[in-house]
Structure 1
Amino acid sequence: MNALTLGQRTLAQEIANGTVRAPGRITHVVASAYISPDRYAAERAALFDALPQVIAPSALLAPGSAVPHDGFGRPLLLTRDADGIAHVFLNVCQHRGTRLVEGAEPVCAKLLVCPYHAWTYRLDGSLKAMPRPETFPGLDKGEFGLRELPSVEAGGLIWVLPNPPRNGEGDREAVEGARHMNVGSCVEPPPSASPPPPRSGEDFADALTLGHDFAALGLPHLHLFARRTHDVAANWKLIHDAFLESYHVLRLHSGSIGPFFKDGVTSGDTVGPHRRSAVGRAAEMGDLDDLPALRRTVTFTYTLFPNAVVIFSPDYVNLMVLMPQGEGRTLVEDFMLIPEPPTTDKARDHWQRSWDLLDGQVFSQEDFRAAELGQQGLASGAITQVTLGTLETGIRAFHDEVESRIGL
């Protein structure tokens, strides 16, 4: 495990020194931000169709595997090729448009074979073979590879631009530009280092920066223990709101994780549009270079704009990927990542209890349920705005970013 990055160390030091940022003031968010179909359409166009987003942890993709993914509104396919490179393709055969791989679970396959006419692709997307090639005179197999989307693997997460412009050559330039930025396991550059090169289309530079943070906490080397997708009847921003403030923790989570945060102090900052925060027990903090000890007293949480949350608990990590389906419905895929595969019944039972607590109770029955109840209340018209106190300033900052992106 590497040392903390400068940004992480600064937040931890603020907690230890009691020098966290000023508390702010009362602010508001209009209720229509959560319930308006027009507002959701604007967010879909400006955010989810235009920005790089987290799609999965690196640990989901073993070498020589493929994973179908439909949560972004298009049939996608994640693969890791023979060279260990992660790709995101449209899950569509280039012959007649047939879906290549069905389901949602990882499959082990050196080749991808279309079930209709058996056109066969390598995991890097190139077309390897087709039956009766003589019936396609003059066809250049190099022009019939799977359509790849721009993606970057950084610090244990895979980011993708799910809806790039359909402009042929521009797509290839964007994919190549992103490919040169892949940093599955990275070391933070010195302050004098040049910024990463820009690429055609959207810029993945923030993903690269955050990748250094995640590598420092060991995320690229973790094992995927469990994953589950929740269908939450709430606006995507209501779900994010829960992870942008600590005001609710001792109340909503009083019967689960609340006692662990009884004396917690929170500090936070931003990396581009993304939010980085830490909550810790200052009285118990010791040497900031003793990472295992620090992880027992400080929890780092990242809100990755616009669609993911990463929570670093003392000995495991939860990644939640938010996939809005409408103004009042969001799919949330929760991944639990642990240091190594469990090899004994005792170890499996330990991690299963952690999974049952977080995914089965804290998230699904508490955070997600609170979001659903909030959606119901806002849709009733009982209030025209949500009121935020000084412990909830992260929510207002997040909504400021959303509104700036959609031109409000």
Structure 2
Amino acid sequence: MFKQYRDPAPVPADGLAAALAPFGQSRMLPREAYVDPAVFEWEQRHIFSGWTCVGYAADLGSVGAQKAVGNGPNGILLVRGEDGTIRAFANTCRHRGHELLACDATTRGRSIVCPYHAWSYRLDGTLRNAPGFGEQDGFDRDQFGLAELRLQNWHGWLFVDPSGQDSEFSEHVAGLEEVVGPYHPEDLTVVARHSYELATNWKVIAENYQECYHCSSIHPELSRISPPTSGENIELPGSWMGGWMSIVEGAETMSLTGKSGGVAIEGLSERELRSVMYLVGYPNLLVSLHPDYVMTHLMTPLAADRTHVECAWAFPKDVAAEPDFDPSYAVDFWDLTNRQDWAACESVQRGLSSPHARPGPLAPDEDGVHQFVTRVARAYAGPADPAAAPR
């Protein structure tokens, strides 16, 4: 939760109050939260400017590796320095503001070079060379280093706080170490990735992920392996949320046959070997912890009604290194399930575009959706007592 005061989001106050009501009495977020560009812009400034997942440390594997993510106010340049440390900088040159690297582009070099006027920076962000300024009196290159942003490498996932004003990262992930730690995601290898661009709001995707009330209707393959009414949600003190679902007797993992084409992650408990933990790394990382692999969905909101999703599957390194290893048992299962979900999410977005759409109630099995909706609604509402907020 941000420490600074901010204006509330441009959503109806009565709709916000209804979303914040106790579970069993509450409603979904106001329609404007999903379709209004003004709300989307507010979210970019106030939700996605705090701790947000921006990718994987393994994608910057060598010194000089550079990758640009996001754009506009949250445009970020990730760089692995000479000391092996990954740093995050605002993706803007200190000369005229040109992007140092185009969004989603990657490169590698001993310097960070702006393509506009060739200003160059060391990998730690300090200015190396500004063509034409060498003999200029009063030019102090120490004043023109790149703007460094707070970054945390947590279990191989990179999180950046562009605002510099979010809570400490330890608060963001409070209560998660004992949930995520046993799977050692940082020691797994990403073997496959799929990219999807969806015609829906990012929150619709997260809400869909937070419930299996829909599973018996649209996921027959999943429902055969994992009973839709199994498991329960967990309460976490930090910014994450989620819950687990069990795997049927005789099945080993989530696949079309229930069989695994790999091996179980070493050191998992009997409960972890018989279930899948689904977590929302608020706001944009969805993590599924399986007995034999870890799957992530990394969401990048593009507009009120458009979201890019990258799905990645990571397996134990020794398994991934086998020449005949085939990850399709997991990839094919979840690609099918994803596409079933995407069709539903895009239909929700089309339905919400109707001026007659009104926030509906939550079913008893949608307590996970209530967790997510109330977290967003609290962000929309801003501080309870603005007068007490720091000036």
- TM-score scaled by structure 1? 0.74
Match of 2:336 in 1: 361
Q: Deviations over 1:83-135 (max 9, x none)?
A: 22221112222233333223625433232223334332222212233445533
**1:316 matched residue in structure 2:** 293
Q: 1:389 to 1:338 in 2, by over 3 A?
A: same
1:354 is matched by which residue type in structure 2? Answer: A
Q: Deviation at 1:228?
A: 4.0
Aligned in 2, Cα 1:145/1:402: closer, same or farther, shift over 3 Å?
same
Counterpart position of 2:304: 327
SS of 1:89 mapped into structure 2: strand
Give the corresponding residue for 1:87.
87
Give the alignment partner of residue 368 of structure 2, picking from 379, 382, 394.
394
Q: Any conservation in 2 of the 1:223–1:337 contact (CA below 8 Å)?
A: yes
Aligned pair partner of 1:258 in 223, 235, 255? 223
Distance 1:315 1:66 in 2: 31
* Kept in 1: contact 2:288–2:295 (CA 8 A): yes
> What is the deviation of 1:240?
0.5
**Could you say which residue in structure 1 is the equivalent of 2:210?**
244
The answer for unaligned runs of 5 or more in structure 1 is 1-23, 165-173, 175-199
Matched residue, 1:218: 184
Rounded to whole Å, the distance in 2 between the matches of 1:248 and 1:334 is 21
Tell me the SS of whatever aligns to 2:350. helix
User: What residue in structure 1 maps to residue 56 of structure 2?
Assistant: 57
For the 8 Å contact 1:239–1:371, the answer to whether it is kept is yes
Measured in 2, the distance between the counterparts of 1:384 and 1:31 equals 7
The answer to which structure has the higher helix fraction is 1
Paired residues of 2:172 and 2:239 also in contact (CA < 8 A)? no
* Contact map agreement 1:265 1:282 (CA 8 A) in 2: no
- Alpha-carbon spacing, 1:43–1:92, altered in 2? closer, same or farther (3 Å): closer
Q: 1:236 to 1:134 in 2, by over 3 A?
A: closer
**1:346 paired residue number:** 324
Q: How does 1:8-157 map to 2 (within 5 A)?
A: 25=24, 27-30=26-29, 32=31, 33-49=33-49, 51-64=50-63, 65-70=65-70, 74-102=74-102, 104-131=104-131, 134-157=134-157
Which amino acid in the other structure matches residue 373 of structure 1?
A: S
Change (3 A) 1:29 1:116: closer
Deviates more, 1:256-265 or 1:237-246: 256-265
Q: 2:242·2:368 contact (CA, 8 Å) conserved in 1?
A: no
Aligned-residue identity in percent? 25
Change (3 A) 1:290 1:216: closer
Root-mean-square deviation (CA), in Å?
3.0
CA contact (8 A) 1:214 1:220 kept: no
Q: Does 1:273 align with 2:244?
A: no
Find the aligned partners of 2:250 and 2:270 in 1 and give their Cα distance: 10
**C-alpha distance after superposition, 1:149-184 (max 9, x if no partner):** 22222222211123x2xxxxxxxxx5xxxxxxxxxx
CA 336–142 in structure 1, closer or farther in 2 if over 3 Å, else same: farther
Q: Tell me the alpha carbon deviations over residues 48-102 of structure 1, each in whole angstroms, 9 at most, x when there is no partner.
A: 23x2111112222213111111357643211121222221112222233333223
TM-score of the aligned structures, taking structure 2 as reference length: 0.77
CA distance in 2 between partners of 1:217 and 1:110 (Å): 34
Query: Aligned pairs, how many?
Result: 342
1:290-301 equivalences under 5 Å are: 291=268, 293-301=270-278
Structure 2 counterpart of 1:314, one-letter code: P
Please state how far the C-alpha of 1:370 moved relative to its aligned partner: 0.9
